């Protein structure tokens, strides 16, 4: 599986970016929720990146979430949802 990939979906109102770990159960729940909602998003499995990519993505993620924890969802380049917060994710993407 590509570490950085576009996940297709019918819902494209928002620019959605997910920082995840391929091994993380809560990240898996988040991916499943986005799939159920049929949201198109960019998925970054941080643990599958090369070392250089990790540093680059770490710097990007840190701007939104200083704890650099997973999952983190960035909505339209400024909204941030840290952790699998189902209602917040639905609220931000289904509105």
Partner 1 sequence: MRQYVENDAEENGYHVCPDPDLYEDLLEGLVENQERYGYPSCPCRQASGMKTYDADIICPCEYRDADVDEFGMCYCGLFVSQEVSEDPDKLEPIPERRPPEILEATMEADEEPEMEESEGIPVWRCKVCGYLAARDGPPPICPICKAKADRFERFRLSPR
In terms of CB distance, is 44 or 93 closer to partner 1?
Answer: 44
Give, as ranges, the residues between 20 and 39 that touch partner 1 (CB under 8 A).
Answer: 21-29
Inter-residue contact 48 to 22 (CB < 8 Å): yes
Helical pair 25-36 and 86-94, crossing angle rounded to 10 deg: 30
In terms of CB distance, is 11 or 28 closer to partner 1?
Answer: 28
Binding region for partner 1 (CB under 8 A) out of 4-12, 17-25, 33-41:
17-25
User: What is the nearest approach in angstroms of partner 1 to the Cβ of residue 12?
Assistant: 26
Is 1 among the residues that bind partner 1 (CB under 8 A)?
Answer: no
Beta strands in the chain (DSSP E): 4-7, 16-20, 41-45, 72-75, 79-82
């Amino acid at each position: 599986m590509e570490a950085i990939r576009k996940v297709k979906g019918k819902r494209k109102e928002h620019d959605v970016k997910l920082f995840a770990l391929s091994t993380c159960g809560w990240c898996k729940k988040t991916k499943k929720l986005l799939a159920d909602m049929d949201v198109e998003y960019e998925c970054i499995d941080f643990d599958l990146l090369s070392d250089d990519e990790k540093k680059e993505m770490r710097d990007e993620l840190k701007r939104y979430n200083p704890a650099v924890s997973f999952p983190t969802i960035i909505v339209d380049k400024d909204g941030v949802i840290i952790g699998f917060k189902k209602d917040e994710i639905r609220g931000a993407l289904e509105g």
